[in-house]
């Protein structure tokens, strides 16, 4: 939830337009922070689909506690300004910046104040961020109450309360003579955009409850009817703001929550076909139900394809088909290059690609590497003590160890993502039958961000979006499957035997 809130908050600081300002040759940010002396400062923006942080500026505060950041002119930007103390974030602010403008940011006792050309709109956006945090809290409480979602009157009540959070904000913006008409429209659109998103979210979950899609229902024809109804209800109500999309599509996607809809669409598809490997045509047909956003279908489709629900464990060939279908329909889409970059990354996980090495620590704190076992068949189990499905699979892992434990050509490597080594060590003490090689890689903030790159994090190297995850590495050090079968499946066949004979 913290990650989602961060993304929604960052979105609030994107913008719509550039206004005429001074004749500066570029954009300037003056940062004053007397308590930041010696700390590092960075300014960054994010790519559209991949949400990768692109650093535009990095430096360190000198003894003055003041820093002038100069950036070349671009379109209006939503930027992230961070002050780091070591590996920890000391201050984090979100900025609205336009070409040829100067903004001053003052940090003091964890309070942020703005002055300069863009002080007013940045201050308003800061206020709106606080309002949106309250809306998020309310939405999360409401969403967990199925009785409210089922109630006929609940939607009207829900929207009334959601709108009430920003009512005073809208009045204040409308009456502020210092804001341009364009700035007012921008602030109003951000404020009402939350209402639109929450209505769509409510409608979708109400339909799921009403039709009981996740419950037992084996009438395939009826399921198809549900699928059409649900997807139409969501996508037909999706209104795309072209200005917000143009200037910060990445956070606009997060704000609209397009990618997360893949989870529900995949479950619906599974009910019909008993598999998750859906086609590009399925996605395209669903998205094109919304005629109003026809000129932005490529935005919606590209974000669905790039969502974690698709990328988690996807086979390269399946991803290739999805992106090839998109390329055929939208050969000039500005989102195509990023999709092709994603495809290139997944090509490095194809069967036959070299394994991606990483380090971990054993129970004694000694560092070792995956590559230490090159020359053997390696079955990697990425898990954690708090992961129920991971622990459930161990009953089958023990059976595999019993079957292959004496085979010197096979290594069972367990990589824990526990954040507390004590929990991990205690679990191993209580489960001595779980034999094999045990290592730990404490979790990182971006563990579940599919498109972050980390040269040593097993989660990122192998694009793992959830655990348990199993990886098979051949004796030659090449990947057999980066999303291998679970132990519960392997105990029923002789697949490992066939690999050991190679």
* Domain layout of the chain by residue ranges: 22-116, 122-347, 359-500
Cα 231 to Cα 261: distance, rounded to the nearest angstrom = 9
Radius of gyration of the chain (CA): 25
User: Residues 203, 205, 209, 214: is their CA dihedral positive or negative?
Assistant: positive
CATH level 3 topology of 22-116: Immunoglobulin-like (2.60.40)
Q: For residues 139 and 5, is the Cβ–Cβ distance under 8 A? A: no
Cα 430 to Cα 18: distance, rounded to the nearest angstrom = 62
pLDDT, residue 131, reads 87
Q: For residues 16 and 186, is the Cβ–Cβ distance under 8 A? A: yes
Count of CA atoms in the C-beta half-sphere (13 A) of 420: 6
Cα 487 to Cα 496: distance, rounded to the nearest angstrom = 11
pLDDT along the chain (502 residues), means of 10: 44 44 75 93 84 86 93 81 87 86 89 90 87 82 65 70 87 94 84 66 55 39 41 60 65 66 68 72 82 85 85 91 96 93 94 96 95 96 94 95 92 94 94 94 59 72 92 97 96 94 82
pLDDT, residue 70, reads 92
Between the CA of residue 472 and those of 276, 316, 330, 404, what are the distances in Å?
A: 21, 16, 36, 15
pLDDT, residue 153, reads 64
Of 74, 45, 75, 39, the closest CA to residue 57 belongs to 45
Cα 129 to Cα 66: distance, rounded to the nearest angstrom = 26
Q: What are phi and psi for residue 176, nearest 5 degrees? A: -85, 105
pLDDT, residue 483, reads 96
Measured from the Cβ of residue 56, the count of other Cβ atoms closer than 10 Å reads 17
What size, in residues, is the chain? 502
Measured from the Cβ of residue 296, the count of other Cβ atoms closer than 10 Å reads 18
Cα 84 to Cα 157: distance, rounded to the nearest angstrom = 43
Label the pairing between strands 102-108 and 88-97: unpaired
CATH superfamily of 359-500: Glutaredoxin (3.40.30.10)
Between the CA of residue 2 and those of 133, 150, 235, what are the distances in Å?
A: 11, 28, 26
* Alpha helices per DSSP H over 348-457: 388-404, 421-430
Q: For residues 479 and 388, is the Cβ–Cβ distance under 8 A? A: no
* Residues with Cβ within 8 Å of residue 334, at least 6 apart in sequence: 48
Cα 317 to Cα 239: distance, rounded to the nearest angstrom = 32
């Amino acid at each position: 939830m913290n990650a989602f809130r961060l993304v929604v908050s960052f979105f609030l600081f994107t913008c719509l337009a550039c206004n005429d300002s001074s004749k500066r040759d570029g954009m300037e940010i003056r940062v004053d922070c007397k308590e930041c002396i010696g700390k590092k400062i960075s300014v960054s923006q994010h790519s559209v689909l991949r949400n990768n942080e692109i650093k535009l500026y990095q430096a360190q505060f000198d003894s003055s506690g003041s820093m002038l950041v100069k950036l070349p002119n671009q379109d209006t930007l939503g930027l992230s300004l961070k002050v780091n103390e070591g590996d920890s974030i000391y201050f984090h602010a979100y900025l609205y910046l336009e070409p040829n403008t100067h903004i001053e940011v003052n940090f003091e006792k964890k309070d942020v104040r703005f002055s300069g050309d863009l002080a007013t709109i940045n201050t308003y956006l800061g206020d709106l961020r606080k309002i949106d945090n309250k809306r998020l809290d309310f939405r999360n409480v409401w969403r967990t109450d199925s009785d409210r979602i089922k109630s006929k009157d609940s939607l009207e009540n829900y929207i009334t309360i959601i709108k009430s959070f920003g009512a005073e904000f809208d009045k204040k913006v409308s009456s502020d003579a210092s804001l341009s008409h364009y700035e007012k429209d921008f602030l109003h659109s951000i404020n009402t955009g939350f209402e639109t998103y929450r209505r769509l979210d409510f409608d979708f979950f109400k339909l799921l409850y009403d039709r009981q899609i996740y419950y037992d229902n084996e009438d395939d024809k009826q399921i198809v009817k549900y699928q059409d109804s649900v997807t139409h209800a969501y996508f037909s109500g999706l209104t795309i703001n072209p200005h917000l999309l143009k200037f910060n599509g990445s956070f606009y996607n997060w704000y609209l929550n397009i990618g997360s809809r893949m989870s529900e669409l995949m479950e619906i598809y599974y009910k019909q076909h008993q598999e998750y490997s859906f086609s590009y045509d399925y996605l395209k047909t669903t998205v094109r139900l919304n005629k109003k956003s026809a000129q932005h279908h490529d935005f919606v489709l590209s974000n669905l394809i790039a969502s974690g629900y698709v990328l988690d464990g996807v086979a390269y060939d399946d991803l290739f088909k999805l992106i090839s279908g998109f390329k055929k329909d939208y050969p000039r889409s500005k989102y195509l290059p990023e999709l092709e970059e994603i495809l290139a990354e997944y090509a490095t996980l194809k069967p036959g690609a070299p394994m991606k090495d990483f380090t971990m620590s054993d129970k004694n704190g000694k560092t070792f590497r995956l590559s230490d076992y090159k020359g053997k068949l390696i079955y990697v189990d990425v898990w954690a003590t708090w992961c129920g499905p991971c622990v459930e699979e161990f009953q089958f892992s023990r059976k595999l160890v019993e079957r292959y434990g004496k085979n010197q050509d096979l290594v069972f490597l367990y990589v824990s993502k526990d954040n507390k080594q004590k929990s991990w060590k205690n679990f191993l003490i209580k489960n001595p039958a779980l034999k094999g090689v045990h290592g730990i890689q404490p979790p990182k903030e971006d563990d579940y961000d599919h498109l972050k790159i980390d040269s040593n994090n097993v989660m990122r190297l192998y694009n793992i979006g959830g655990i348990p995850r199993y990886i098979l590495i051949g004796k030659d050090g090449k990947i057999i499957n980066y999303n291998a079968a679970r132990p519960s499946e392997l105990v029923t066949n002789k697949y490992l035997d066939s690999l050991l004979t190679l």
